[in-house]
């Protein structure tokens, strides 16, 4: 049994200038609190929110006597999280600045600073009294409400100055009990497809992520040749990310539905954090390096794991080393075959795609861990393979519907 959390952003309609300016002033005051707390925490090595609050509470209250006192509490939480994150990056050598910089700000609200008025408005305590913010609940918001998710008491508030609206980021949580599994659905992630082994068949689900990366790279090159436009470049980047995220969500939903239909666990490779850098280490072609880096293997993996947790589907992470280069029949080292992605075993003569070898080896390693009831190991190293274009699998609810 575990707790799953989701954050859902709900926008407001366009606010009046008076109301928006009040919230804008509140954001600036909150920013001053966070900046002061972060500077102190980084300078003195203080990463605990309670320690930060104790050290600066009186000073901050004197600076902002009109601000509700609980904003110091939430700003200390916000600052502590920022300092911890920056110091972790600095230890790993990934920090891009000498000290933490506050670029984006959203106000953390505790139960003393906001009141929910039904599901279509919230009241926020400010330096000018309580301000009512009407909301336009989204489909995702209503889905969480109707499916029994519990609304937590600490949302965040963020302003969009261009559109003169506010966003309230609600946090939902749900207690999920992990279901017993009687089998394994193994999944192998690739740049342009996802291989899934369910039962005795392997399905290669085309994703088209490679084509999206190449297409947007070409568009960016055209924009740069025309001296570019920062707004257009940002829009292209956002569109590319949105398309890829949509595909990842569809893949995750599809895999989880199949595992739920079969009453099985999902087996995946336990990809390290630096997997893209490791993969491009010996690649000289700059375009191929860019494609691999933007394939988003860990993003796809996170989507599958998150969706599986929501449905109580067990996830088994296995060692990724050698899954696509080990013979699924004899365990020997595979070599390249006469066609792209075709592998041969010089020891036993096995022949098949690297994706097929990978999902069989992932399934075998998951069964060896013993987290599912003992069953027969995959003994057919040449299962039936189906290549499914995205236009086919994205419109089906399960692999059974395709078969």
Closest CA to 362 of 310, 326, 314: 326
* Residue 339, pLDDT above cutoff 80: no
Q: How far apart are CA 146 and CA 6, in angstroms?
A: 14
Alpha carbon 79 to chain centroid distance? 23
What pLDDT is recorded for position 403? Answer: 47
Measure the CA–CA gap between 103 and 193, rounded to whole angstroms. Answer: 37
Give the per-residue pLDDT at 295: 80
Residue 33 contacts residue 60 (beta carbons within 8 Å): yes
pLDDT score for 164: 95
Domain ranges of the chain: 2-176, 183-394
Question: Taking the C-alpha atoms of 232, 28, 34 and 61 in order, what is their torsion angle to the nearest 10 degrees?
Answer: 180
Q: What is the DSSP pairing of strand 201-206 with strand 193-198?
A: antiparallel
Provide the pLDDT for residue 21. Answer: 97
Q: Which of 329, 315, 321, 319 is nearest to 357 (CA)?
A: 329
Q: Give per-residue pLDDT as tens, 185-244.
A: 999 998 889 999 987 889 999 998 988 888 888 877 777 666 656 677 778 888 889 999
């Amino acid at each position: 049994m575990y707790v799953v959390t989701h954050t859902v952003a709900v926008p407001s309609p366009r606010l009046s200038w008076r109301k928006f300016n009040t919230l804008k002033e509140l954001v600036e005051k909150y920013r001053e609190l966070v900046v002061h707390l972060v500077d102190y925490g980084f300078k003195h090595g203080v990463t605990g929110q309670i320690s930060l609050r104790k050290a600066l509470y009186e000073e901050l209250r004197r600076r902002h006597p009109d601000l509700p006192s609980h904003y110091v509490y939430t700003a200390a939480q916000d600052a502590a999280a920022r300092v911890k994150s920056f110091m972790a990056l600095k230890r790993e050598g990934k920090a891009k600045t000498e000290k933490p910089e506050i670029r984006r700000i959203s106000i953390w609200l505790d139960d003393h600073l906001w009141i929910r008025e039904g599901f279509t408005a919230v009241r926020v305590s400010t330096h000018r009294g309580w301000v009512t913010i009407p909301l336009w609940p989204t489909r995702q918001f209503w889905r969480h409400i109707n499916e029994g998710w519990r609304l937590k008491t600490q949302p965040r508030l963020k302003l969009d100055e261009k559109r003169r609206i506010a966003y309230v980021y609600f946090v939902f949580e749900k207690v999920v009990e992990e279901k017993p599994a009687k089998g394994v659905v193994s999944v192998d992630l690739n740049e342009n497809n996802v291989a899934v082994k369910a039962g005795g068949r392997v399905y290669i689900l085309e994703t088209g992520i490679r084509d999206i990366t190449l297409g947007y790279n070409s568009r960016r090159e055209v924009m740069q040749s025309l001296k570019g436009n920062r707004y257009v470049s940002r829009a292209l980047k956002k569109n590319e990310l949105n398309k890829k995220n949509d595909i990842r969500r569809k893949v995750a939903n599809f895999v989880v539905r199949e595992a739920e239909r079969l009453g099985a666990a999902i087996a995946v490779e336990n990809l390290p954090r630096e997997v893209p850098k490791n993969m491009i280490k010996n690649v000289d072609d700059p375009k191929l390096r860019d494609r691999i880096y933007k394939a988003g293997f860990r993003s796809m993996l996170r989507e599958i794991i998150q969706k599986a947790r929501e449905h109580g589907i067990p996830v088994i992470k296995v060692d990724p080393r050698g899954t696509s280069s080990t013979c699924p029949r004899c365990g020997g080292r595979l070599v390249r075959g006469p066609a792209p992605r075709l592998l041969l075993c010089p020891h036993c003569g096995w022949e098949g795609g690297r994706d097929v070898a990978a999902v069989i080896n992932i399934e075998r390693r998951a069964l060896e861990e013993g987290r599912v009831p003992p069953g027969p190991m995959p003994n057919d190293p040449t299962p039936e393979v189906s290549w499914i274009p995205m236009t086919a699998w994205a419109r089906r609810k399960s692999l059974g519907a395709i078969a």
